[in-house]
Structure 1
Amino acid sequence: MNYFTNKPAMPAPVAWQYLPSFFMFRATLILLVSLSLVLSVHGQQQPRFHAIAIYENGGHHVEYSKAARVWLDKLAADSNFSIDYIQHIEDVDSAFLHKYQLFIQLDYVPYAWTEKAQAAFKHYIEEGQGGWIGFHHASLLGDFDGYKMWPWFHDFIGGVVFKDYIATFASATVHVENKKHPVMKNVPDSFVIQKDEWYTYDQSPRPRVKVLANVDENSYQPATTIKMGDHPVIWSNPTVKARNVYIFMGHDPALFQNTAYTTLFRNAIFWAAKNKKL
């Protein structure tokens, strides 16, 4: 009884009356937190693009490829893209390439490819299904180890045929020709490569490609007579739909300690993976 109003007093609220609202609030909170976590994890599991890198399973370029894998794995983790590796061309066909937006040819030769792999790669490049970056051995064009030269790849790489190389290795200065190209963003106008087995070709690829950088043959240390004159070392073929770039330097694992080299490598990855030709 309320003695001031002479009315029956309202019963005091008890805790159990609030339990349904409390449990509903807690359930809603748990649902929201769970949804946030699911969305967060889902976002982390969606890479920006998928890359495949092929490298040789023997020979004296293996140490470079091992260093490249360490560097690429870290870049992929830091930049949210996925990368897989293969060492045999037999795995390559149209269905295989369809999974990837970028094909990286790490010191892998352009001969002894199966007809199935050749046809799939040709279609991949010509139709712009994915981008391509080739290094060093990718321009070893000619008849080697009993295999005939692949004519389509010969045209794609700029019409060059391997002629000679500096077997004793040399340091040299590379000069950037096209600073506006995205691959050359933040790369110095010139930079030194401390060690590589510089190739010469039967001719310069310049008439058939877009040259991005050349090597100064007068800067070779030790000096050598193995020269070709106009000597591009980084270029892109504008006649195909796929974004593509060939980077000659790719022999010494110490290249991954060279900031200019890793910068252009990183630029090449993110430019080629977008796969829209300039």
Structure 2
Amino acid sequence: MQRRSNILSLRNPAMWLFLLLLVCSTVVRAAVPGQGTPKFRVVALAESGGIHQPFVDAAKLWLNKLAFENNFAVDYIQNTDKIDDAFLSQYQLFIQLNYPPYNWTPTAQAAFIKYIEEGRGGWIGFHHATLLGEFDGFKMWPWFSNFMGGIRFTNYIPTFADGMVTVEDTTHPAMQGVKTPFPVSQEEWYTWDKSPRPNVHVLASVDEKTYTPDTKIKMGDHPVIWTNEHYKARNIYIFMGHHPDLFQNPAFTTIFRNSIFWAAHQ
């Protein structure tokens, strides 16, 4: 079971102070005349419960603060029941916050495909978004596999490993200001049946020779951040997303922040 970091502990007085200030700031902002409407709206499909809940909780805190500081709005949903064309038309960006590519309603699947293929909004996916295969009694979603570069999940490092990530395209807007290589601690490092590289534009990859501790669970060429330019929607997949401590990693938060504004055309 994933350990929560101290910064997210409800027993930490600083955490309570931060939450109080964030709530009060939001209320003040809503009440101040002249603030205007949000510049853009984001919907985050957030995985609920399980070992990824600490990461999702940390992501919500970070996103809410970023949204307040930059005058955009974020709504959170925990399943796909509300998703249809009308629902998605409200949003300029869809964030798949560790939610897997299965157990979507047929209506949600159809609306999401249209949203991406017609470029109605941008997309950022994390971690579980490439959990592609047969899971929990659900078949693989072929369209989503193609969206992710034609891959299928094969394995992961259950005991975790540190690794160094190299930025391959330093000119891409999502990579601006990111030092390379940068460390990522205690990650699962999914492997897939093949590298997505032939079908996507790779932005960053992990150097498997830097795994600490070393492991036999490797795939060779190992992209971890990419965009699929065959779709109209601006999209980025970011593999990292298991531990809440990622929000203390400046490279990760810079990439997340850059990706939001790029994918939402801001």
Q: TM-score, normalised on structure 2?
A: 0.87
How many equivalent pairs are there? 236
Is 1:208 the counterpart of 2:199? The answer is yes
Aligned counterpart, 2:249: 258
- Look up the SS of the partner of 2:264 in the other structure: helix
Q: Which residue of 2 aligns with 1:117?
A: 108
Between the aligned partners of 2:36 and 2:160, the Cα distance in structure 1 is: 43
Q: Which runs of 5+ in 2 are unaligned?
A: 1-30
Q: Secondary structure at the match of 1:274?
A: coil
Is the partner of 2:216 in helix, strand or coil? coil
Deviations 1:118-177 (A, max 9, x none): 000000000010000000000000111110111111100111100000000111000000
Ranges of 4+ aligned residues in structure 1 off by more than 2 Å: 40-43
Matches within 5 A, 1:128-143: 128-143=119-134
Provide the residue aligned with 1:54 in structure 2. 45
Report deviation, 1:45. 2.8
Opposite residue 166 of structure 2, the aligned amino acid is H
Q: Deviations over 1:227-269 (max 9, x none)?
A: 0000000000001110000000000000000001100000000
Q: Does 1:191 align with 2:182?
A: yes
Note closer, same or farther for the CA distance 1:160–1:43 as it changes in structure 2 (3 Å cut).
Answer: farther
| 1:216-235 correspondence to structure 2 within 5 Å | 216-235=207-226
- 3-state SS of 2:50 partner: coil
CA RMSD of aligned residues (A): 1.2
Q: Does the alignment pair 1:166 with 2:162?
A: no
Residue 154 (structure 1) aligns with: 145
In 2, distance between residues paired with 1:181 and 1:255?
21
Q: In structure 2, what is the Cα distance between the partners aligned to 1:55 and 1:220? A: 29
Once the two structures are superposed, residues 23-80 of structure 1 have per-residue CA deviations (whole angstroms, 9 ceiling, x without a partner) of xxxxxxxxxxxxxxxxx95641311100010111121101100000000000000011
Where does residue 100 of structure 1 map in the other structure?
91
Rounded Cα–Cα distance in structure 1 between residues aligned with 2:229 and 2:256: 19
Contact 2:79 / 2:104 at 8 angstroms: preserved in 1?
no
Report the equivalent of 1:74: 65
Residue of structure 2 aligned with 1:65, choices 56, 63, 73: 56
Larger Rg over CA atoms = 1
Query: Is the partner of 1:180 in helix, strand or coil?
Result: coil
Aligned equivalents of 1:89 and 1:60: distance in 2?
20
Q: Residue deviations 1:160-217, cap 9 Å, x none?
A: 1000000001110000000000000000121000121110000000000000000000
Contact 2:225–2:237 (CA<8 Å) still a contact in 1? Answer: yes
Within the candidate set 29, 36, 39, 1:45 is matched to: 36
Q: Note if 1:268 corresponds to 2:252.
A: no
Inter-partner Cα distance in structure 2 for 1:183 and 1:43: 31
> What amino acid is aligned across from residue 207 of structure 2 in structure 1?
D
For normalisation by structure 1, the TM-score amounts to: 0.83
Query: Percent identity over the alignment?
Result: 61
Among 171, 175, 184, the alignment partner of 1:180 is 171
CA distance in 2, matches of 1:52, 1:208: 27
